[in-house]
Amino acid sequence: MQTALRGNNQTIGYLDNSKKPILTALLTLEAMILSDYYHIELIASTLEGYQFQGESVQRCY
């Protein structure tokens, strides 16, 4: 299952919960990513072309 990350009303990446189960802990946290402060909401949808790794979101080509 992939879970989209939303920050400041924009979808900015997703978690692949099947590969990194520990990341589900983010359901109860706020994260700082992309050198800005983002309040992270986890929503059940898929956003192709992005990967969430640690505390950064990287564009995949």
Q: What is the pLDDT of residues 18-60, one digit of tens each?
A: 554 444 444 434 444 443 444 444 433 334 445 555 444 444 4
Range of the domain at 10: 2-59
Asked whether residue 17 carries a pLDDT value surpassing 50, the answer given is yes
Handedness of CA 47, 51, 56, 60 (dihedral sign): negative
- Nearest residue to 34 (alpha-carbon basis) of 11, 12, 14: 12
Q: What is the pLDDT of residue 11?
A: 59
- pLDDT at 7 > cutoff 50: yes
Closest CA to 7 of 41, 35, 34: 41
Three state DSSP letters for the chain? CEEEEEECCEEEEEEECCCCHHHHHHHHCCEEECCEEECEEEECCCCCCEEEECCEEEECC
Based on the structure, what is the number of domains in the chain?
A: 1
The pLDDT, as a whole number, for residue 21 is: 41
